[in-house]
Amino acid sequence: MQNVFQGRSLLAEKDFTKEELMYFIDFAAHLKDMKKRGIPHRYLAGKNIALLFEKSSTRTRAAFTVAAVDLGAHPEYLGKDDIQLGKKESVEDTAKVLGRMFDGIEFRGFKQENVELLAEHSGVPVWNGLTDKWHPTQMLADYLTVKEHLGTLEGVTLAYAGDGRNNVANSLLVTGAILGVNVHIVSPKSLFPEEELVKMAQSFAETSGSSILITDDVDEGVKGADVLYTDVWVSMGEEDKFAERIALLKDYQVNMDMIQKTGKEEVIFLHCLPAFHDTETAYGKEMEEKHGLKEMEVTDEVFRSKHARHFDQAENRMHTIKAVMAATLGNLFIPHV
Ligand code: CP
Ligand code: NVA
């Protein structure tokens, strides 16, 4: 009997049930424990995994690489300047070629349509490592981190402050709604998530019993939050928008004032990373020179505070990605979810 995950792709969270997403999260916790205890879990021995990256990455690339090696598979990095994808060869043709050589494909890029085309034409599981629309593997790590620190997901309130219509905000909203987490998107009106997406989240929330709030009012949006989350104000591919976003989002910065506004002493702070919290990067220096800002979406004080859990979250990328690859490619015995 094949398990319910075998051969499936992870393109968007909406394609999975609450029970299936929870299985990934709990399986990741189990794999994390096995790794810490040195117990081998080479469920993908002899398999080959292609890692396609159109955009740069630290965590996602490192997580897929280490997870593949821990599972006994061989990961092969194929960057945008290494292969023909999109320039000399269509996504469809690339998918057909890679599917004949590799057992699974990770894709990070711009268009959601491209990760879907890869899945349609490769014949092997395809895992979305971030597109402009969704960041599903990030979600599994994020909600695992929340569960580790708060003990549960049901009834937890997560407030996301910042660019409310980027991939991470979209994914947090929909995934949270599926999982029974109350999600508040706190952003200026012009950066609210698309109407269609809010409707989708609302319909999932009705089933899971959670609630969704989309607001431009910071006080209302962060009040009662157990988790405060933010992401960069300018995502990859939008680098010409810094001035516009700073003007729009300066009042949505996660700082100690916002932490206090949650009214929760034990609130945890999450960020998918990388973060602009100081001037120790080329972009950080440029922001200081051009806009007089030393920190953007989160202050250095919050980033280094007792509330911060983003490095646990970053580590969890690896354990959760490992769970997804093993469940969808490992022929594991999973009698029910
Ligand atoms: N959070 C995340 O996806 O990080 P990378 O861009 O470094 O992969
Ligand atoms: N929204 C960010 C997430 C990075 C992990 C981006 O797309 O650049």
**Residues belonging to the chain:** 337
What spacing in Å lies between the alpha carbon of 235 and ligand 2's midpoint?
A: 5
Residues 223 and 99 in one domain: no
Residues 291 and 147 in one domain: yes
Q: Whose CA is nearest to atom 6 of ligand 1?
A: 57
Choose the weakest-confidence range: 77-86, 89-98, 102-111: 77-86
| Tokens describing residue 126 | 């395809």
Residues 194 and 147 in one domain: yes
Task: Please report which confidence band the pLDDT of residue 47 belongs to, taking 50, 70 and 90 as the band edges.
Answer: very high
Q: How does DSSP classify residue 242? A: H
Work out the average pLDDT over 318-331. Answer: 98
Q: What is the pTM of this model?
A: 0.98
What residue type is 92 in one-letter code? E
In a domain, 126, yes or no: yes
Residue with tokens 């007089």: 292
Report the pLDDT value the prediction gives residue 151, as an integer from 0 to 100.
98
The CA-based angle 161-299-230, given to 5 degrees, is: 25
Residues 148 and 288 in one domain: yes
Burial (0-12, 13-18, 19+ Cβ within 10 Å), 311: exposed
Q: Whose CA is nearest to atom 7 of ligand 1?
A: 58
What spacing in Å lies between the alpha carbon of 1 and ligand 2's midpoint?
A: 38
Report the pLDDT value the prediction gives residue 199, as an integer from 0 to 100.
98
Q: Is a pLDDT exceeding 90 seen at residue 286?
A: yes
Residue 312 CA from chain centroid, whole number: 14
Work out the average pLDDT over 157-180. Answer: 98
What spacing in Å lies between the alpha carbon of 26 and ligand 1's midpoint?
A: 22
Report the pLDDT value the prediction gives residue 86, as an integer from 0 to 100.
83
Ligand closest to the CA atom of residue 320: 1
| Tokens describing residue 61 | 């690339």
Work out the average pLDDT over 195-207. Answer: 98
Active site residue 272: yes
Residues 18 and 65 in one domain: yes
Q: Is a pLDDT exceeding 90 seen at residue 84?
A: no
Asked whether 72 and 103 are in contact (CB, 8 A), the reply is: no
Alpha-helical segments (H) within 167-249? 167-179, 195-208, 218-222, 242-249
Residues 42 and 167 in one domain: no
| Tokens describing residue 207 | 């089933």
**What domain range includes position 109?**
13-134+318-323
Residue 46 CA from chain centroid, whole number: 28
In a domain, 6, yes or no: no
Active site residue 138: yes
Report d(CA 307, CA 124) in Å as an integer: 40
Report the pLDDT value the prediction gives residue 87, as an integer from 0 to 100.
86
Residues 118 and 158 in one domain: no
Residues 64 and 169 in one domain: no
Compute, in degrees rounded to 10, the torsion defined by CA atoms 228, 232, 237, 242.
140
Mutational test site, ligand 1, from 170, 272, 321, max ligand atoms within 8 Å of CB:
272
Give Cβ neighbours of residue 30 (< 8 Å, ≥ 6 apart): none
Question: Domain of 147: which CATH number?
Answer: 3.40.50.1370
In a domain, 1, yes or no: no
Mutational test site, ligand 1, from 51, 53, 58, max ligand atoms within 8 Å of CB:
58
Residues 205 and 75 in one domain: no
Work out the average pLDDT over 272-294. Answer: 95
Burial (0-12, 13-18, 19+ Cβ within 10 Å), 225: buried
Q: Which of 85-89, 179-183, 284-288 has the highest mean pLDDT?
A: 179-183
Report d(CA 81, CA 77) in Å as an integer: 11
Q: Whose CA is nearest to atom 3 of ligand 1?
A: 60
- Does residue 62's CB lie within 6 angstroms of at least one atom of ligand 1? no
What is the percent of the chain with per-residue pLDDT over 90, rounded to a whole number? 97
Residues 84 and 143 in one domain: no
Work out the average pLDDT over 19-26. Answer: 98
pLDDT tens digits, one per residue of 213-240 = 999 999 999 999 999 999 999 999 999 9
Residues 76 and 159 in one domain: no
Q: Is a pLDDT exceeding 80 seen at residue 1?
A: no
